[in-house]
């Protein structure tokens, strides 16, 4: 109608204006031009074009790997990588991925703290066991988070405050001899009454802060709790402990086995004090000669290449 009316004489248009107003004709004309423009440029979806899939994946990856980052920080990292997108685009990608674009993620979670500070963390706990005579024995042990090296500090039937304090002094001397005292900054332990106040003072003088776990929250000391379970499964549940002297012997043997031979998943198969050997050549694999070495009467098995 707009096209037809545009070619009519003015007198005729004055007659037709009783049927349609000039504004209606102008609106028809605008619609006509818009439709022609759409046909000429092809069909387009309304709004911005969808962000490239690789950029979306990268934005979500940066958010997962860096919990404290909001959409502005992620946008800045993308700009540093030469990727030009609008901050609002990053916001929309995070929102669609179920991630809060501007969260309050400044607080560090406990697992993140343990992973980031592994070199500086020791964990400690008491393990209880009973000898054949019915006497209750207490084993005090500490583990270094990064290396997974275990140190059994002693065994006693009466863990007095003086005994625990001396065991702590021995631990600090051992750390100094191993060159680790300068890097250790935290010791995680529970709230057991067997730990004296003097112990924390000794640690503080060495620059080590005591971190107490929550009440009935064993996951806060997960690395130590996992070792306690391993000790029970591989040694205490399979050995008849005669007396305190026998317990000291078997735990010494197990400590050496654990630190020098037993493989660890967190260390990619290595032991705390033994690195992985070089990969065998094909001709060596074809002529394998593996010998078994028993420890503690066969409770522990270690396998080595024949000399």
Query: Could you say which residues of the chain have pLDDT below 50?
Result: none
Name the strands in the sheet holding 121-130, side by side, starting at the edge strand that comes first in the sequence: 150-156, 136-144, 121-130, 186-189, 209-212
Closest C-alpha among 128, 127, 132 to residue 240: 132
Q: 22 φ, ψ to 5°?
A: -60, -35
Strands 186-189 and 209-212: parallel
User: HSE-up of 229 (CA within 13 Å, CB side)?
Assistant: 8
C-alpha to C-alpha distance for 156 and 129, rounded to whole angstroms: 11
pLDDT digits (tens, 9 = 90+) for 145-179: 999 999 999 999 999 999 999 999 999 999 999 88
Tokens of 95: 């929102």
Residues in contact with 40: Cβ distance below 8 Å, sequence separation at least 6, in sequence order: none
Closest C-alpha among 233, 231, 232 to residue 259: 231
DSSP lists the bridge partners of residue 136 as: 130
User: HSE-up of 111 (CA within 13 Å, CB side)?
Assistant: 2
Closest C-alpha among 179, 121, 143 to residue 264: 143
* pLDDT for residue 79: 85
Residues in contact with 152: Cβ distance below 8 Å, sequence separation at least 6, in sequence order: 139, 140, 141, 251, 252, 255
* pLDDT for residue 175: 93
Q: 281 φ, ψ to 5°?
A: -75, 160
Closest C-alpha among 149, 155, 177, 180 to residue 258: 149
Torsion 244-245-246-247 (CA) sign:
positive
Is CATH 3.30.420.10 the right assignment for the domain spanning 113-267? yes
What are the domain boundaries of the chain?
A: 2-41, 47-107, 113-267
Torsion 65-66-71-75 (CA) sign:
negative
The answer to whether 117 and 185 have CB atoms below 8 angstroms apart is yes
Strands (E), the chain: 121-130, 136-144, 150-156, 186-189, 209-212, 290-295, 300-305
3-state SS, residue 210: strand
Please provide the average confidence, as pLDDT, over all residues in the chain: 85
* pLDDT for residue 53: 86
Q: What is the pTM of this model?
A: 0.66
Residue 292: CB atoms within 10 Å? 9
Torsion 196-226-262-245 (CA) sign:
positive
Q: Where are the alpha helices (DSSP H) in 178-302?
A: 197-205, 222-234, 244-260, 282-286
Please state the separation of Cα 194 from the chain's center in Å.
31
3-state SS, residue 133: coil
């Amino acid at each position: 109608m707009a096209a037809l009316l545009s070619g009519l004489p003015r007198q005729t248009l004055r007659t037709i204006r009783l049927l349609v107003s000039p504004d209606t004709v102008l609106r028809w004309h605008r619609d006509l031009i818009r439709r022609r423009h759409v046909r000429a440029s092809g069909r387009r979806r309304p709004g911005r074009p969808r962000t490239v899939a690789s950029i979306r994946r990268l934005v979500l990856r940066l958010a997962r790997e860096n919990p404290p980052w909001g959409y502005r920080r992620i946008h800045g990292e993308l700009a540093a990588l030469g990727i030009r997108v609008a901050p609002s685009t990053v916001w929309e990608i995070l929102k669609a991925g179920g991630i809060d674009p501007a969260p309050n993620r400044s607080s560090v979670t406990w697992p993140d703290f343990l992973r980031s500070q592994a070199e500086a963390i020791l964990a400690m706990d008491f393990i209880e066991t009973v000898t054949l005579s019915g006497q209750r024995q207490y084993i005090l042990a500490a583990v270094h988070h990064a290396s997974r090296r275990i140190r059994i500090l002693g065994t006693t039937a009466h863990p007095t405050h003086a005994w625990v304090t001396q065991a702590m002094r021995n631990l600090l001397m051992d750390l100094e001899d191993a060159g680790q005292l300068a890097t250790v900054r935290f010791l995680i332990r529970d709230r057991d009454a067997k730990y004296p106040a003097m112990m924390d003072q000794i640690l503080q003088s060495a620059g080590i802060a005591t971190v107490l776990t929550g009440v009935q929250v064993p996951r806060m000391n997960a690395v130590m709790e996992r070792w306690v379970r391993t000790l029970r499964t591989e040694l205490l549940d399979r050995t008849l402990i005669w007396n305190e002297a026998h317990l000291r012997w078997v735990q010494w043997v197990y400590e050496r086995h654990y630190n020098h031979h037993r493989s660890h998943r967190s260390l990619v198969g290595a032991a705390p004090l033994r690195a992985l050997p070089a990969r065998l050549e094909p001709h060596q694999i074809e002529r394998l000669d593996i010998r078994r070495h028993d420890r503690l009467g066969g409770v522990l098995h270690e396998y080595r290449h024949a000399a």
